[in-house]
Structure 1
Amino acid sequence: MVSDNSAENRTDVFIPGAWLISPAVTNTYTARPGEFVRVNAHDDGVTIRLPPAAGNVGAEIVVKEVAGEEEAIAILASTGEQLARDGSPYVTFRLVSDGATWVEI
């Protein structure tokens, strides 16, 4: 699947079974399906925006705080979508799309 991501000035390509690895993210970032997002929340919390769950059934996103900090990582689902998460801050978490929601597993 290929999509234009003008907000991040990039073209996203999703290849089932292949993982993308982000550079260390230090501020707001939009994750892509099949991405391992490395977060460095050293000084401030970091916001990770999720792509729409619809159209990404079975896709995974893993977010990992790599600097060893205990800072909060905020996760924002697409407009109108819910995020199945218990609300506590995580240093590592894994999300899977069921087509309607990103579910933390």
Structure 2
Amino acid sequence: MSRVLSWIDTLFFGVRRIFAAGVELPERPALNFVGAVVTDNPAENRTDVLIRGAWLVSPVVTGTYTARPGELVRVDAHDGVTIRLPPAAGNAGAEVVVKEVAGEEEAIEILASTGEQIARGGYPYVTFRLVSDGATWIVI
């Protein structure tokens, strides 16, 4: 019975136990991420946390995809691919790398969160490295 109540408690109230190096921390009503980039992602109904030095790696993308800060986006652009960038505001220093991995000739389109086009390519094995300055994404 206690397992059922524990499961119901987690369902209604979420995960409340946090461990640091295996030691449980006191329960608190809020989290404060220090040294990480934290952004709201309403399009996917989540909060994204980027810990510097840790890269996220996407599955191979073949259509439209929303990148996250600190992500290596692998692309098969056989039929053309659109990559939407997260907001540059609040992500200063964050990087997004878009890499065409299948050697296809079609275009990769990269859009800023406002819909402004950043870059377009049509070369096999093309790579785009973008860095946020806190206001815009810069292609490097």
User: Percent same amino acid among aligned pairs?
Assistant: 80
Matched residue type, 1:100: A
Go from structure 1 to structure 2 and tell me whether the alpha carbon gap of 1:97 and 1:2 turns closer, same or farther (over 3 Å shift): closer
Of 71-80 and 5-14, deviating more is: 5-14
Specify which of 56, 60, 64 is matched with residue 24 of structure 1.
Answer: 60
**In 1: Cα distance, 2:133 partner to 2:92 partner:** 5
TM-score by length of 1: 0.83
Of 74-83 and 27-36, deviating more is: 74-83
Comparing both chains, which one has the higher relative contact order based on Cα–Cα distances under 8 Å and sequence gaps of 6 or more?
1
In structure 2, list runs of 5 or more residues that go unmatched: 1-36
What is the Cα-based RMSD across aligned positions, in Å? 2.1
Q: Which residue in the other structure is 1:49 paired with? A: 84
Task: Count matched residues.
Answer: 102
Between structures 1 and 2, the one with greater helix share: 2
Shift of the alpha carbon at 1:12?
2.2
Shift of the alpha carbon at 1:9?
5.4
Shift of the alpha carbon at 1:7?
2.6
Which has the higher Rg, Structure 1 or Structure 2? Answer: 2
Answer yes or no: is the 8 Å Cα contact 1:53–1:97 preserved in 2. Answer: yes
Q: Which residue in the other structure is 1:102 paired with? A: 137
Matched residue type, 1:99: G
Instruction: Say which SS state the counterpart of residue 109 (structure 2) adopts.
Output: strand
